[in-house]
Structure 1
Amino acid sequence: MAEHGPVLSVHPSSCLVDEKTEVEVKHLPADYKITLHALIHSEDGDDWEAFGRYTSDSSGTVKVFRDKSLGGTFEGVEGMGLLWSMRPVPESKPGRRFRKNNVQTPVKVMFSVYEGHLARGFKHHIPLTSATAERWYLAPEVQRVEVTEGEIKGTLFIPPGSGPFPAVLDLWGGQGGRVEYRSALLASHGYVSLALEYIGILTAAGKLHHVDNTYFETAFKFLQKHPKVRPDQVAVMGMSFGVSVMLGLTASSEIVEMGDIKCPVLLIVGEDDQNWPASESAADMKRMMEKAGNSHLLTVLSYPGTGHLIETPYSPHVRFSDFKLLEAKTKVVVLWGGETVPHSRAQEESWQKTLAFLEEHLYDNSREVTLC
């Protein structure tokens, strides 16, 4: 071992969650076996970890973006493997899902270097060195504004600058509540984004309030009228059940008639979706649009080995998790599907293509778009 011990560097030490992080260890002996370990303590109180086993080169250096992991939660040259391969630590309760609720604080990742090739029990070992990195959904100076416009409930994220900006109406899935992290990240890339709450809203009497299309149309118009928004450059983005809502809005009907859609549509499909018949639905949509003569508006990204929960890049893959049924007030386990490696690849690529799609159709043109 070098006189002063190994040096672990994480660069950048603070960045957005969709940015790549370079992890490097220097001042090791040549051909020295180490295990690099990453740990996140989630807001739900769960610990998530990933690790890779490495051997230093002749200069006593390990570079995660260059060198092969010889085993662990990922193998081979995987520069971001210490993040996308994260999973709950072995003693965790089953059915956990990683989610960031407070976007005004970062995800803190503790990177550590351990001597030898380890497989478990990291908390019982003393690391040679450690370093902490912060990963943010919210860029500096992005405004977060609570929205209570009439019946509308949600959170508005506004990029820094005078604007006006293109905007996104962000509809999350069927579990309800207010999910802000994707909207925060969209605003960090230059879009006003409204994370709309639409499931699980309680009335003054404490009963569930069921919204209809008028609620979503009101939210859309709220965005259009906002002084920081370009009114003719607004997209709607959905995930899971949010896709059904979104398509119903763009087709202007309760039964989605894809032939009625007149705006560009980006459809992201997990071919191993065990929750919804995503591939079959995508094929039906394509046939309907071909028959109507508007298939030129449809772009389909279809990913083998990918499940239902296609999250932002480098988020942990969850094949199944607990799911709360709001009306029944019970909890069930839902199978989402996907295999970790292809699912993680899909998350990274689909996000890059989503941002490119938004830039093409909102920043370069004046027309509304749909993403699902």
Structure 2
Amino acid sequence: MSSQVRLRLLPSARCLFDQPVQVKVEGLRSSQVVTMRARSMDEKGVVFSSSATYRADGSGKVDLLRDPSLSGSYVGVEPMGLLWSLKADALHKYFFKNNALQPHVVKFSVHEEDREDRMLAEVTNERLLIGNGVSRVPVKGRNFQGVLFTPSGDGPFPAVLDLSTFASEKRASLLSNKGFVVLAVPVYSDHPDNVKQTNLDHFKEAVDFLQQQPKVGSKGVGIISRSKGADIALSLAAFVPGIEAVVWINGCSSIVGVPVYYKNRQILSTLPFDFNKVIRTESGASIIRYGLEDAVTEKNKGSLVPIEQAKGHFLFIASGDDLNCDSKAYMDEMAERLKHHGKENFETVCYPEAGHLLEPPYGPYCPSALHGLIRFPVLWGGEPRAHAAAEVHMWKKMQDFLRTHLKCDAA
């Protein structure tokens, strides 16, 4: 290491996962070309790395907020590029970070140009998922299990149910840092092959549990959902009272997978999937976007969620390059249907170049990974830079929407 070269993360090397940092290097030679690197390991032990080449200015400084990458994992001015471009050596790897108690640890380093063995400086960035004073409590109800995150302070706070396809705490814990009581509940707590039906009553139990929390002040509950969680969120809004706001991200307007039951009777059938329409690619990952049948045909209308009977508000978010499903078409269909019924209780947002896996910002972009339900690798879609920008925009948009529609009475 070079004693005069300094690598700094501003405002601090310790921050929340969804906060940007300014990466600066000082003490280089005038116009020196260096390679910046980032490296992190996920919870499964898979190493992800990125690199970019920069030229110092006349005073020997590099500032990622200002300076363009000349080559590497990305080019151009991308202040957080080293984070979103983190990538595993092996194909089809998703950066697995679900435990809220463990920070996302990233090592940033600066090296002589294209010389990994010649490190000039290094700094560790601890990106926390759970902020000061936020409590995390595992919860087991009669028919649901999840994790409850509660902000510090007396409240009252708005209540949000975070529906993820499989157990994950990342989005819920980060949202709780912003002043929401959030209950993270997976759609599948058992292996999907063992699940023959979805019981909406189980999720209603989770909604009721949330409303009973002492720090909750909103008269209703909000829901955040993506993919499989999104059609369950629509069903709750349509059939269960007390759902005031639903964030639907890259899902379907119909039920996918298994039929939905409520109060001991089937209320929704499933939209069939045609595996003959799966497109195999040379990478070994498939495009499954075209597999689902048309939701609005007569034979499939029993799978369409009747959101027109919902009392709450919707924020529909779709990616134009979602290769998992045609989420933009489903969003447009729902918007048209609500308009047809004289409803104005919705907003739509489309990110034309983003892919399926829209998540809280500044995590590694994932182009392809093993699909948890169909058990083979799929392409998720998205242009990395545009996808990363969409995540930043969406994260704020979502919070603003939930705050608007989950008003709390003053304590």
Per-residue deviation, residues 91-128 of structure 1 (Å, max 9, x unmatched): x3321101212210111110000011x2xx84xx1311
TM-score, normalisation: structure 1: 0.88
Q: Does 1:351 align with 2:384?
A: no
Per-residue deviation, residues 55-109 of structure 1 (Å, max 9, x unmatched): 1111111111011111111111111111111111xxx332110121221011111
Q: 2:188 aligns with which of 190, 199, 215?
A: 199
Gap runs ≥5 in structure 2: 240-266, 269-303
Q: 1:127 aligns with which of 119, 125, 129?
A: 119
Q: Does 1:101 align with 2:98?
A: yes
Alignment of 1:139-218 (within 5 A): 139-173=131-165, 176=166, 178-201=167-190, 210-218=197-205
Match of 1:320 in 2: 368
8 Å CA contact 2:158, 2:408 repeated in 1: no
Match of 1:78 in 2: 78
Amino acid at match of 2:160: V
* CA distance in structure 2 between the partners assigned to 1:249 and 1:134 by the alignment: 37
* CA distance in structure 1 between the partners assigned to 2:87 and 2:90 by the alignment: 12
Label 1:59 to 1:65 Cα distance change in 2 as closer, same or farther (>3 A). Answer: same
How large is the RMSD of aligned CA atoms in angstroms?
A: 2.1
Deviation, structure 1 residue 37: 0.6
Match of 1:370 in 2: none
Deviation, structure 1 residue 210: 4.7
Deviation, structure 1 residue 218: 1.0
Q: 1:297 aligns with which of 335, 339, 345?
A: 345
Q: 1:228 aligns with which of 188, 209, 215?
A: 215
| Partner-residue secondary structure (3-state), 2:72 | coil
Deviation, structure 1 residue 208: 5.0
Label 1:225 to 1:353 Cα distance change in 2 as closer, same or farther (>3 A). Answer: same
8 Å CA contact 1:223, 1:231 repeated in 2: no
Per-residue deviation, residues 150-193 of structure 1 (Å, max 9, x unmatched): 222000000001122101100012xx3x1111000010111000
* CA distance in structure 2 between the partners assigned to 1:197 and 1:331 by the alignment: 18
Deviation, structure 1 residue 363: 4.0
Q: Does 1:25 align with 2:21?
A: no
Match of 1:40 in 2: 40
Deviation, structure 1 residue 277: 1.4
* CA distance in structure 1 between the partners assigned to 2:322 and 2:399 by the alignment: 23
What fraction of aligned residue pairs are identical, expressed as a percent?
A: 34
8 Å CA contact 2:218, 2:408 repeated in 1: no
* CA distance in structure 2 between the partners assigned to 1:16 and 1:182 by the alignment: 12
Deviation, structure 1 residue 54: 0.7
Match of 2:327 in 1: 278
* CA distance in structure 1 between the partners assigned to 2:349 and 2:360 by the alignment: 15
| Partner-residue secondary structure (3-state), 1:309 | coil
Amino acid at match of 2:119: P
Amino acid at match of 1:275: N
* CA distance in structure 2 between the partners assigned to 1:170 and 1:282 by the alignment: 20
Label 1:207 to 1:272 Cα distance change in 2 as closer, same or farther (>3 A). Answer: closer
Match of 1:9 in 2: 8
8 Å CA contact 2:100, 2:169 repeated in 1: yes
Q: 1:115 aligns with which of 102, 112, 117?
A: 112
| Partner-residue secondary structure (3-state), 2:360 | coil
| Partner-residue secondary structure (3-state), 1:347 | helix
| Partner-residue secondary structure (3-state), 1:128 | strand
Amino acid at match of 1:291: H
TM-score, normalisation: structure 2: 0.80
Gap runs ≥5 in structure 1: 367-372
Amino acid at match of 2:95: F
Label 1:339 to 1:26 Cα distance change in 2 as closer, same or farther (>3 A). Answer: same
Deviation, structure 1 residue 258: 2.6
8 Å CA contact 1:259, 1:293 repeated in 2: no
8 Å CA contact 2:219, 2:408 repeated in 1: no
How many residue pairs match? The answer is 346
8 Å CA contact 1:267, 1:299 repeated in 2: yes
Q: Does 1:247 align with 2:296?
A: no
Amino acid at match of 1:21: V
Amino acid at match of 1:72: G
Per-residue deviation, residues 33-60 of structure 1 (Å, max 9, x unmatched): 1111111111111111122211111111
Label 1:231 to 1:201 Cα distance change in 2 as closer, same or farther (>3 A). Answer: farther
Amino acid at match of 2:101: Q
Match of 2:64 in 1: 64
